[in-house]
Amino acid sequence: MHAPEQYEENKSVARRDIEEAMTDLIPRMEFRQKEVILDYGCGAGTTGYKFFKPLAEEYDSVIHAVDISSEMIQHAKENFSHARVTYTQGNILDDDFPLKDVQFDRIFSAYVFHYIKDYKEALRRFYKLLKPGGQFGFSVLARSAVFKMYSIIGEDPRFKKYMQGYQQFIPQWFEEKQSAEHANKCFVTAAEEAGFVVKYSKISYQTYFHPRFDTLLGLFMALNPFINNFPEELIEELRATYKSYICKGYGLIEESESIETRHEMLTFLVEKPL
């Protein structure tokens, strides 16, 4: 996500799912005083400010908020600055991850894992970042048309040169065409192989009614990690391609004012043994 204002304006479904997952996970956790917390994939900063900042204040803790996107980090700094929160750009899969030497009591990653291609390696690296007894709560999309669009746009001759490397943003379980149930088992297995004890896992079968078609269209475009590569003169053509795909995929006429979508969300709480 490299268009923070556009994403925040159109992320109604993501906002609902994130709130549901965090409301489910946080009461299951065992918080202590003076914790060091990682908010990985903090995006524009809204989730951390709503859910994690109050925890930091209550337990006299600090938060390191990290996102792969410099645009998201800048937006978060400008709009959600707080004495207990430090914002940093970084990718958990990079060997020079800026916080690789920090040990965390708790890690959150809300609605982010579906943007990490090698989820098994990411779990191994998160395991190394946690202190013994530390907990990791995260939620992830099991299936989404967003990833199909990466392939469609990325292979389109009109857009291909602006989408180079799009494959790294398509998660492994999508490529393998896994069901939500199988994806859930894969995450449980990968977490256990990384060394975690799985304390909780859940599959949520979600529907969402978008009262305006343009909201869903805007969300699809905001989720394109290469959106800032496109020249201004191609944006309307790109928008028309997204619109055509959404209408075809959901059986809509172009003038449709609303749309109901379906997807599956996975929620996990894992723990590093003492």
pLDDT per residue as tens digits for the range 201-260: 999 998 888 888 888 888 888 888 899 899 999 999 999 999 998 888 777 766 667 788
CATH of domain 4-144+169-210+263-271: 3.40.50.150
252 three-class SS: coil
The DSSP-derived string for 174-213 is HHTT--HHHHHHHHHHHHHHHT-EEEEEEEEEEEEEES-H
Cβ 91 vs Cβ 97: under 8 Å: yes
Q: Phi, psi (5° rounding) for residue 208?
A: -145, 130
Cβ 134 vs Cβ 272: under 8 Å: yes
The overall average pLDDT reported for the chain is: 89
How far, CA to CA in Å, does 157 sit from each of 51, 153, 169, 221, 230?
43, 9, 19, 18, 13
Beta-bridged to residue 37, according to DSSP, are: 63, 106
pLDDT at residue number 213: 84
* pLDDT band per the 50, 70, 90 thresholds, residue 10: very low
| Higher local confidence (pLDDT), 17 or 147 | 17
Of 52, 98, 45, which Cα lies nearest the Cα of 74? Answer: 45
Q: Residues 98, 139, 44, 48: is their CA dihedral positive or negative?
A: negative
Would you report the helix, strand and coil content of the chain in percent, each value rounded to 5?
45, 25, 30
* pLDDT band per the 50, 70, 90 thresholds, residue 4: low
List, in order, residues 6 or more apart from 44 with CB less than 8 Å away. 1, 4, 7, 8, 72, 75, 76, 79, 80
pLDDT per residue as tens digits for the range 84-132: 999 999 999 999 999 999 999 999 999 999 888 899 999 999 999 999 9
